[in-house]
Structure 1
Amino acid sequence: MSSAADKIKNFFKKKKNEAKFKLAGPGRRLDGTNAPSTSKSTKAQSDVYVPPQRKELTSEAKTAAEAAVARIQSQKKDDTHFNTSLAAIRAQVQRELEAERKTKTEIEKQISQEQPQPKVLDDGHNRHLAAQGVYFRCPMVSDEVLPRNEWKIKIKEFLYEQLAVERGLTSCLIILNCNTKEKSAACIETLTKYLQNIIQHPDEEKYRKIRQSNRIFGDKVLSCEGALDFLLAAGFTEQTIDDEQFFIYSDEHNPDGADALNELLEALQHSEIIPLELDRNIQVLLPSQTKKSELPPDFYRISPEELKREQQLRTEALENASILKTKAMREREELRYIQRYKFALVRVRFPDGVYLQGTFSVYEKLDQIYAFVQSCLKNEALDFKLMSPIGTKWDDDDMNKTLFDLRLVPNTILTFVACENEENIGGNYLKEDLLMLIQPV
């Protein structure tokens, strides 16, 4: 008999191969626009960031990118005002692409799929945010990139779709993924007792009946999503006896007997939460676009209302403070401040004036930022260092420290320093398809 873990793994592999995720809506590109996205890994290590694979650029898009790169390199040699020249180059490239779109319908379709377009925002406040939210991937289910709350809906829809063909295992996953942690734990404990009693006392009729009016059943099982489907999968049926509703276990509905119950019990006890992977939500920015530093509510541990109140209290405390604070007092205040955040926005400034932006958990480590930057470089073998906002260059001992430990929360700007002669690099550091993410000012 295969283990529960193997069964769950094969379950998701089979469903993905069959492409049964019918209710999934369109995904979201890394810059926030609605479009399908991919999440296939290109590296074997699971603890480093692996960007989604991108479609090959069309010949027209490649030509435009090469032209932009060539102009940047040429301009950099003659003009020290990189910010302005880069913006002008990007605007010119955009005008050229727009002209091509008007005359070639097919090119318009291809480029619109491969080049993210600016997101149109209705909320004026959102225009000032450094990121539009926090997004996740769920490779076990599909290749989409969505906010956490949308993933909860998608996962629930996906699991309920599978009940008709795989009721036992699916009901276990629904119990764990569609209820609160406390509710699912209480339900699993109760269902485990039901099945264990039948396995250990196969001839005892009292263990084959569950009175629906029973308080424990009502509080811990009936109120939990997926629990009734689990009982039906185990061999229980709903029956009325003397005007009372029961769930009755019958060998007729479970011909495999104790073996099937043990297998279902193993699946119930070893099922896991379907994991979500944080998406980096890559953006490539011009210096003038880095002025946006306000973060959306998704980055916080607390609600927007609680956050607003804390900010008011913080402002009042600063205004009323008339004494000098000790170092310990300042550190405690800083710690309270960064503990409000679940995620951090990291920007890396390159010597050519371009900024690379990504989203990280506050508990991710410094080496994961290095891996993220490395994966975005045109030359991934390039040796480099990252410098903190105050000029600190970290050593190998710092690589296992979290962003929280290094106080790189809630947002920070790191400086990219190449360890090689820049003349041998060729001007631009990032991959061409990432440079195409730059939006006009």
Structure 2
Amino acid sequence: MDMLKKFVKGKKVDRHFKRTGPGAKLSDGASSSQPSVVSGSMQGSRDEDRVHASDVAAQAALKRMLGNEPTVSSSQKKIQMMAQRELEQERRERESASAKFSDDIKNLRVGETTVHELDHSNAISSVKFTCELLGDEMALPKDQLRSYLESYLRDEMEEEGVVPATLMITSLNQTEQRKIAMETIRKYLQNILENQSEPKFRKIRMSNKAFQDRVFSVKGGREFLEAVGFEEKEETNPEGIKEMYLLMSESAALDDARLIQALELLDGATPLALKVARDTKTFTLKDGEKISSPKLPSDFFNITGEELKKEQERMTVQVDRMTTMRTREMREKDSKQAEYRYKYSLVRVRTADKCLVQGVFSVGETLLAVRQWLHSLLSQPEAQFDMKDAAIGTFKDETKSLAELGLVPAVTLHLDMKQDVNLPILSEEVMREAVPFSIE
């Protein structure tokens, strides 16, 4: 396990020094005579400090939420009034849409399936992921990230050997495949350690069906065996036919320390966790511009095309539930069902200075994660704010998941600053990436 952690940490350090560039000698007189220039890497360091500060600020913000309200200036009141008007307008539009939705559902006939294309169809093409080994800057759709990760680990095989092979087994295969492969490889190594003088335990016939199904078909399986000392060679089998075998020499079999270390590594290995990338986008809004509903990619949903009819029936039931009293237990059950139906949520947050930021979250992440993300985007990361929903208002418990709060599969929130802040509300780095919302 320590070897795995050291490997991942080492790669993170390598990335840091690649961004930093070559060093300079302290005795270099030229450096002392020239004015200092803030490099991109130093700026990156400041960005990391700012993000760290934003995380701390987000944690502290929760503790302050129930504290005394700060004094509100006239300019802040004006911003709050503008935000309140927008919330009221959204609430009225939502009520109108809900009424129309009820009428539409009543007119639906069983067996009909109508797919409506929502506006703003280019909101997001697919959900992207990152992993600790490759760094947050490498954000790709899951299949592409796994493919890149496999290529990266294969490149590392020449130098690191058994560690990247172990990560290939744990991170690039299905759970059951991984489990069977690890059990089989573990048995191979244990047999060698317990019978070091027996050649038969150091020989694996590559055409053997059990080996093909359990190890060879698993990514990283053969690579792991080669990393611990097995070599591919041709030998004549008992029937006199030449076949390919994986063979371990007697000297390699007597290397107890190496084999035991490989076993411990295999036993302690866990998959590299893939995290949902925020894929942050920033938009500028026109006066009075309405934020249209996004068309979400299929990645967001657990349901398939064949389940559209069932979804239609569910919508009918949902309208009925909206018009009846619901107990707390019933509402919690509904939120759990929503969590099963949706995997991700597209969160949009509107600011008072006519900007919109967009990020992707897992439905199991808490609203606090959204707060931390927002802190990292502000020009003043320590600034206090509330997140408001047109229907719910201010959220009382930010430790609940987005699914529990019903903020799936997409939601638009309003950022309500609790104090005067310098404009723009979002940082310069974030605003540099902004594009007009209407052209997306």
**TM-score bucket of the superposed structures, by smaller chain:** 0.5 to 0.7
Query: Secondary structure of 1:164's match?
Result: helix
Indicate the percent of aligned positions where both proteins have the same amino acid.
Answer: 27
2:153 to 159, 164, 175: 159
2:266 maps to a residue whose letter is L
Change beyond 3 A, Cα 1:360–1:338: same
1:373 maps to a residue whose letter is L
Change beyond 3 A, Cα 1:234–1:284: closer
In the alignment, is the contact (CA less than 8 A) between 1:49 and 1:372 conserved in 2?
A: no
Partner of 1:430: 426
Change beyond 3 A, Cα 1:283–1:7: closer
Partner of 1:399: 398
2:179 to 178, 181, 185: 185
Between the aligned partners of 2:157 and 2:119, the Cα distance in structure 1 is 40
Deviation by residue 1:4-43 (Cα, 9 ceiling, x = unmatched): 3344335534764797xxxxxxxxxxxxxxxxxx998446
Between the aligned partners of 1:47 and 1:255, the Cα distance in structure 2 is 53
Change beyond 3 A, Cα 1:388–1:10: closer
Deviation by residue 1:59-102 (Cα, 9 ceiling, x = unmatched): xxxxxxxxxxxxxx9xx99xx99xxxxxxxxxxxxxxxxxxxxx
Query: Secondary structure of 2:400's match?
Result: coil
Change beyond 3 A, Cα 1:126–1:5: farther
Between the aligned partners of 1:234 and 1:389, the Cα distance in structure 2 is 60
1:172 to 166, 176, 188: 166
How many residues are matched? 347
Between the aligned partners of 1:3 and 1:369, the Cα distance in structure 2 is 33
1:235 to 210, 222, 229: 229
1:193 deviates by 1.0
Between the aligned partners of 1:393 and 1:129, the Cα distance in structure 2 is 29
In the alignment, is the contact (CA less than 8 A) between 1:344 and 1:361 conserved in 2?
A: yes
1:410 deviates by 1.4
Between the aligned partners of 1:281 and 1:438, the Cα distance in structure 2 is 13
Between the aligned partners of 1:300 and 1:46, the Cα distance in structure 2 is 34
Q: Does 1:4 align with 2:7?
A: no
Between the aligned partners of 2:430 and 2:55, the Cα distance in structure 1 is 19
In the alignment, is the contact (CA less than 8 A) between 1:389 and 1:414 conserved in 2?
A: yes
Deviation by residue 1:136-160 (Cα, 9 ceiling, x = unmatched): 2334225322221210111111122
* Map 1:213-228 → 2, pairs under 5 A: 213-228=207-222
In the alignment, is the contact (CA less than 8 A) between 1:137 and 1:277 conserved in 2?
A: yes
TM-score by length of 1: 0.67
1:127 deviates by 5.2
1:200 maps to a residue whose letter is E
Partner of 2:390: 389
Query: Secondary structure of 1:327's match?
Result: coil
Between the aligned partners of 1:427 and 1:339, the Cα distance in structure 2 is 40
1:264 deviates by 1.6
Q: Does 1:137 align with 2:151?
A: no
Between the aligned partners of 1:126 and 1:416, the Cα distance in structure 2 is 23
Structure 1 spans left out of the alignment, 5+ residues: 20-37, 51-72, 82-123
Deviates more, 1:275-284 or 1:183-192: 275-284
Deviation by residue 1:213-251 (Cα, 9 ceiling, x = unmatched): 544323211221222222222222334233254433222
1:169 maps to a residue whose letter is V
Partner of 1:372: 373
Query: Secondary structure of 1:273's match?
Result: coil
Deviates more, 1:335-344 or 1:155-164: 335-344
